Structure 1
Amino acid sequence: MALLDKLNTADVRRYDEFVRSSPYGSMMQDRLWAEVKDDWGNEHVYLEQDGEIIAAMSILIKRLPGGFSMLYATRGPVCDITDLTLVQRLLKEADSVAKKHKAIMLKFDPEAAYSDELYDLYKNAGFQLTSKDDDQEKLIQPRKNMILFLDDHDEETIMTKFSKKGRSTIRGAIKKGVQVRYSRSDEDIELFYETYRAMSERNNITTRSVEYFKKIRDKYEEARIYIAYHEDDILAGALTINYHGKMYYLYAGSTNVKRNMNPNHIMNYEMIKWGIEVGATQYDFGGFFEVSDGLYIFKKSFCDKDGATEYIGELDKVYKPFMYNVLEKVIPMVKRLRKKPSQG
């Protein structure tokens, strides 16, 4: 059984190297994300061929009443999702984890583009899917993301992908004297947190703690805090990560001061420039549910040419059908109370 021994330094290093170099890797499939989510349990499984790892999956374990659990491979697995045989072999490695923790199901939501063929492949194989035609409020994460692809662009040509209004907004913020800095300091995390809290209160969104953001900063060496300011006023802040060539715009906020200066636009432009500088291939603005809301409009101003990236959604391997059906009636109600996407 290829269950990662977390105490074996050599095996952990080999596992990490595979996940971080894989084109199917994601910051949420890194072991470090499981350490950030320390209110969940975690296990990591993998497959080998000729002594080399060919597939991997980091599993979060949410304990439920009665000693049961839900397994969740956030943005996993790390392999070609269209290779169903490979995925099923990897999931078989997780059977021991499911048995040990009395799992009701294992949920995974890969960064894989939706297609009717992929949907049918998993539906016909017996998986339960929450996808294109289902209630999007049932999803843990939005199924559609706004991703700006950076390949073959510099800081000037990338602006051709922005909307005309987006370009004008950025240039306007520069002319007004909005400035942007970055660091990894506790001081700037505290300043960022104030912008995040102000945004959350303005939009009636549940907040995370400042300690949570410090934990992300501490786990990921390529995490940065960006602060937009004008004169002595803090206008906006953001937490972004360069994960081995994939940039993630994770959390952001803005104060109620000088909002007409559009600090979030110029701040994102500076983060995009960082991505180009380090050779990142994409800048992920995160998801959205409605095309009519302000969050979508903001993200589209950067991704005007690339548009929305539509993922397959959630795929569930069910271990206990009766209890799974019970949970499927309760979970949607819980998710309706969850916060909206929190960038902005």
Structure 2
Amino acid sequence: MRARPATTDETQGWDRLMHETARPHLLQSTGWAEVKAATGWRAERYVFEEGDARVGCVQVLRKRLVGGLDVAYAPRGPLVDDGNLPDAIVALRKALSRGLTVSLLCDPEAAESDALAKALEAHGVRRSPVYVQPRRTLLMDLAQDAEAMLGAMRKKTRQYIHKAEREGVVTEKTTDLARFHRVLRTVAERDQFGIHSLEYFASLVEAFGDALHLRMARVDGEDVGALLVIRIGDRAWELFGGWSGAHSEKRPFYLLKWHS
């Protein structure tokens, strides 16, 4: 297998190319590259080939260090079948070795597998002590009907969703970033964690446009919950959100999650 730089046409149609792998990911999109460019990351794109056949692709983010050196990161990549990951990472490492890249971190969305771990190790790929992305995530099939999805939830979760409906919690879409950010700021201050600036969220809107969705939860006219979701193709990712802490007895965040 070899990794070659994407052509001009492939770069311009990158998101389509990403979809053709049947495992597209938000963090491998052109929109995400635009967002990360603001903090000094430069995107490079490669196509994997075996013979004349294209078997996958990857977007690599590179950041310059002192002395002309740089580090490379492939968030949720390479986009290849799990069985091809060892060869793909070796091929990508070889392609990047022509420059002054001192490290390559890949975190493909692959199922835990002892066989895969051994194959990676046999190809000289070491497990990183650093985890940039969550190690586990929940993927829900929204093609199911509502009753099937509710039935798969814990009894308490179903009760809280229905309670919020009975208590008159309202959820709605918005394009008002400042409104969204106010709720997020309240959550951050209460739980003592840092959040991105309003300008950062504006850059997300600019990069993803209509693919980005904001939804709010209100109780008696007061904003008490907020969620930001980005949809690409047939998948959507919940990136940011939270509950202000107000009106806990009405369980507003449960209904917000359900409607999102």
Q: Same fold (TM over 0.5)?
A: yes
Q: Choose which of 107, 110, 113 in structure 2 pairs with 1:112.
A: 110
Q: Distance in 2 between matches of 1:124 and 1:89?
A: 11
Does residue 173 (structure 1) correspond to residue 174 (structure 2)? The answer is no
Q: 1:121 offset after TM fit, Å?
A: 0.9
1:240 to 215, 229, 232: 229
Q: Share of identical aligned residues, percent?
A: 24
Give the secondary-structure state (helix, strand or coil) at the position aligned to 2:137: strand
Q: Are residues 145 and 192 of structure 1, via their aligned partners in 2, closer, same or farther at CA, if it must alter by over 3 Å?
A: same
Residue in structure 2 matched with residue 145 of structure 1 by the alignment: 137
Q: What does residue range 85-234 of structure 1 map to in structure 2 within 5 Å?
A: 86-88=87-89, 90-91=91-92, 94-95=95-96, 98-100=97-99, 102-130=100-128, 138-151=130-143, 153-183=144-174, 185=175, 187=176, 189-220=177-208, 221-234=210-223
Cα pair distance change 1:2/1:224, threshold 3 Å: same
2:171 touches 2:216 (CA, 8 Å); kept in 1? yes
1:230-260: per-residue Cα shift (whole Å, max 9, x none)? 1220011110012211121110022242233
Structure 1: unaligned runs, 5 residues or longer: 272-344
Residue from 1, 4, 9 that aligns with 1:2: 4
Q: Is the 8 A contact 2:6 2:45 kept in 1?
A: yes
- The within-5 A match list for 1:247-286 is 247-271=236-260
CA distance in 1, matches of 2:126, 2:181: 38
Question: 1:177, 1:24 → 2: CA distance?
Answer: 39
Change (3 A) 1:125 1:90: closer
Structure 2: stretches of 5+ with no match in the other structure: none
CA distance in 1, matches of 2:14, 2:50: 14
Alignment CA distance shift 1:46-1:90 (3 Å):
farther
- Give 1:80's aligned amino acid: D
Distance 1:89 1:124 in 2: 11
Report SS of the residue matched to 1:82.
Answer: helix
- For residues 152-180 of structure 1, give each alpha carbon's deviation from its aligned partner in whole angstroms, at most 9, with x where no partner exists: x1122211111100000000111111011
| Native 8 Å contact 1:45 1:93 kept in 2 | no
Amino acid at match of 2:220: E
* Residues 166-210 of structure 1: CA deviation (Å, up to 9, x unaligned): 000000111111011113x2x2x2111111111111111111111
Give 1:23 shift.
1.9
Equivalent position of 1:72 in the other structure: 73
Q: Number of matched residues?
A: 255
Inter-CA distance 30–90: structure 2 relative to 1 (3 Å threshold): farther
Q: Distance in 2 between matches of 1:144 and 1:172?
A: 29
Q: Distance in 2 between matches of 1:70 and 1:241?
A: 27
- Please say if residues 3 and 93 of structure 1, whose CA atoms lie closer than 8 Å, have aligned partners that are also in contact: no
Secondary structure of the structure 1 residue equivalent to 2:77: coil
User: 1:93-139, CA deviations, whole angstroms, 9 ceiling, x for partnerless residues?
Assistant: 632xx433x21111010111101111111012111103xxx6xxx31
RMSD of aligned alpha carbons: 2.1
Secondary structure (helix, strand or coil) at the match of 1:214 reads helix
Which of the pair has the greater relative contact order for Cα pairs under 8 Å at 6+ separation? 1
Deviation at residue 64 of structure 1 after TM alignment: 2.2
